[in-house]
């Protein structure tokens, strides 16, 4: 195992849990409106620091808590001060900033200690890495797809969806969102078990079920197709990355 990666995985996992699992829409809204005047900004940063410290499980490294919490608060404050804080480019820049902090912190720990923390054994490292991949495929991917689609379809009469991979007017509520989640999970499993042919069958099956039997307006068809291809691409890239980490050879 690469020791730097072993240290980095729990720090990234802590960030994903903080930003996408343990953060409600109310927290996001309050932070966006009031920024550092909102108690949610400080609570969110506190959660980030605690999770990073706990998941790293190296109790002598107190700077992990302070650096993670402090930089999380600062990065979010800059993002929430921007007028276009909900745009795709701001979202990507925000996430890259948090990941850069995690990478810098992991490198400092790698250079100054001999401990590998909680995921220092191969079984736990594999479990943690697989969990990280799964979490990335859920809400972070959904949010990224929604923001990318919104930036491309600005001014186009398309209903707002949590994830534009399938459902359109007349469809089941949030069906596209859950279809997107399930298809990414299936692709994740197919790549990990080396069944790439099954991904082709998944694409074919979805195309037949979605487009067979009814004529779509061009803008709706392109909207769905774009969301679907983004969903598949993200899933494949993440799955390949996780597979390489847990089985580099």
The confidence score (pLDDT) of residue 114 equals: 79
Question: For residue 27, how many C-alpha atoms fall within 13 Å in the half-sphere facing its CB?
Answer: 16
Residue 240 has pLDDT above 50, yes or no: yes
More confident residue, 74 or 180: 74
**Rounded Cα gap, residues 166 and 181, in angstroms:** 11
Average pLDDT over residues 159-180: 61
The confidence score (pLDDT) of residue 215 equals 47
Residue-level pLDDT at 163: 57
Angle at 22 between CA 20 and CA 23, to 5 degrees: 65
CA neighbor of 138 nearest in space, from 175, 183, 72: 183
What's the rounded mean pLDDT across residues 35-60? 93
Distance CA 227, CA 116 (A): 39
> Which tokens is 142 given?
């959904």
Query: Tokens 């197709």 sit at which residue?
Result: 225
CB 143 within 8 A of CB 28: no
Pairwise pLDDT comparison (224 vs 104), residue with the higher score: 104
- Residue 4: the pLDDT is 92
Q: What is the mean pLDDT of residues 191-205?
A: 83
pLDDT, tens digit, 9 for 90 and up, residues 132-151: 999 999 999 999 998 888 86
Give the C-alpha separation, 174 to 159, whole Å.
12
Confidence (pLDDT) at 94: 95
Q: What is the mean pLDDT of the chain?
A: 85
Query: 166 pLDDT exceeds 80?
Result: no
Say what the pLDDT of residue 247 is: 83
Check whether 160 has a pLDDT greater than 70. Answer: no
Strands, E assignment, the chain: none
Checking if the pLDDT of 8 tops 70, the result is yes
Nearest to 18 by CA among 51, 56, 41: 51
Q: How far is CA 220 from CA 93, 224, 232, in A?
A: 29, 6, 18
| pTM assigned to the model | 0.86
User: Both tokens of residue 44?
Assistant: 């969110």
Confidence of residue 78 (pLDDT cuts 50, 70, 90): very high
Report the pLDDT value the prediction gives residue 50, as an integer from 0 to 100.
Answer: 97
């Amino acid at each position: 195992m690469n020791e730097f990666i072993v240290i980095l995985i729990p720090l990234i996992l802590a960030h994903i849990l903080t930003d996408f699992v343990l953060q409600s829409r109310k927290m996001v809204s309050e932070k966006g409106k009031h920024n550092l005047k909102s108690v949610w900004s400080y609570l969110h940063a506190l959660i980030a620091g605690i999770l990073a410290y706990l998941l790293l499980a190296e109790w002598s490294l107190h700077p992990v808590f302070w650096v993670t919490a402090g930089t999380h608060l600062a990065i979010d404050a800059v993002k929430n001060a921007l007028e276009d804080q909900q745009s795709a480019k701001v979202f990507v820049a925000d996430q890259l900033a948090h990941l850069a902090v995690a990478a810098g912190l992991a490198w400092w720990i790698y250079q100054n200690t001999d401990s590998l923390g909680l995921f220092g054994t191969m079984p736990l490292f594999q479990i943690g890495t697989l969990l990280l991949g799964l979490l990335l495929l859920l809400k972070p991917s959904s949010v990224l797809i929604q923001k990318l689609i919104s930036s491309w379809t600005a001014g186009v009469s398309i209903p707002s969806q949590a994830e534009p991979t399938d459902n359109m007017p007349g469809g089941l509520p949030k069906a596209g969102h859950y279809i997107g989640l399930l298809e990414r999970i299936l692709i994740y499993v197919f790549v990990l078990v080396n069944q790439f042919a099954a991904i082709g069958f998944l694409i074919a099956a979805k195309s037949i079920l979605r487009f067979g039997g009814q004529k779509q307006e061009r803008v709706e068809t392109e909207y769905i197709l774009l969301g679907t291809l983004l969903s598949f691409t993200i899933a494949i890239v993440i799955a390949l990355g996780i597979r390489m980490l847990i089985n580099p050879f």
